[in-house]
Amino acid sequence: MLLAYLAGSFSSAISLSKIMGFPDPRSEGSKNPGATNVMRIAGKKAAALTLLGDLLKGFASVLLANLFLQNPIFIALTGISAFLGHCFPLYYQFKGGKGVATAFGFILAFNWIAGLITVAIWLIVARVFKMSSLAALIAFSLLPFLYYAIYQDSIISMLLLGMALVLAYRHKQNIQRILRGEER
């Protein structure tokens, strides 16, 4: 879990922006080190690479945990640790991204059925409302309840609920803009 947290603390957005010669995403646009802000300031290619890097943090953490751990609770905690590292990175004074891509990587590797359902919900909401933040909030808010409905696993469902609450907290400014009708 500690290694997953440390890997999650690595910022794809900041590192790729430095390598590709773009401004630090923490100082431009929304000032968020995530793929959406990187797209605003550096374009689609840089954003796609950032998204891939952030997805891989969650995905690889779970795959590696599966090699060494048998207990699904500890495997889930490992993936959530990568997500927490992304949101509250040790290397950047605990000021990180919102965690959506890392959370997607985690859930897709942890349980591909729940992952695909979450992706499908995100796609539908994003298409209808044209808001990535709203899509993420709805998809991850529903995930714990869907997981419980499918697998009747209350412990994993509670862990997913905790992750959804952190994700909502990281989106508090987006939520305020949505409520005011100002979200892009």
Quick check: 141 pLDDT over 90?
yes
Average pLDDT, the chain: 96
3-state per-residue secondary structure call for 14-56: HHHHHHHCCCCCCCCCCCCCCHHHHHHHHCHHHHHHHHHHHHH
What CA–CA distance (Å, rounded) separates 24 from 148?
40
Contacts (Cβ under 8 Å, ≥6 apart) of 71: none
Quick check: 183 pLDDT over 90?
no
Q: What is the largest CA-CA distance in the chain?
A: 48
Within 35-124, strands assigned E span: none
When pLDDT is cut at 50, 70 and 90, the band that residue 29 belongs to is confident
Tell me which residue range forms the domain holding 145. 2-180
Q: What's the pLDDT tens digit per position in 46-105?
A: 999 999 999 999 999 999 999 999 999 999 999 999 999 999 999 999 999 999 999 999
Q: What's the pLDDT tens digit per position in 32-43?
A: 999 989 999 999
Q: How many helices (H) and strands (E) does the chain have?
A: 10, 0
* pTM of this structure: 0.95
Integer distance in angstroms from the first to the last C-alpha of the chain?
35
* Number of domains within the chain: 1
Q: Select from 7, 8, 3, 27 the least CA-distant residue to 163.
A: 8
Q: Select from 90, 66, 67 the least CA-distant residue to 8.
A: 90
Sign of CA dihedral 64, 65, 70, 76: negative
> Is 156 in a helix, a strand, or coil?
helix
Res 184: pLDDT: 75
| 171: amino acid identity, one letter | H
What CA–CA distance (Å, rounded) separates 79 from 103?
8
Angle (CA) 64 68 73, round 5°: 85
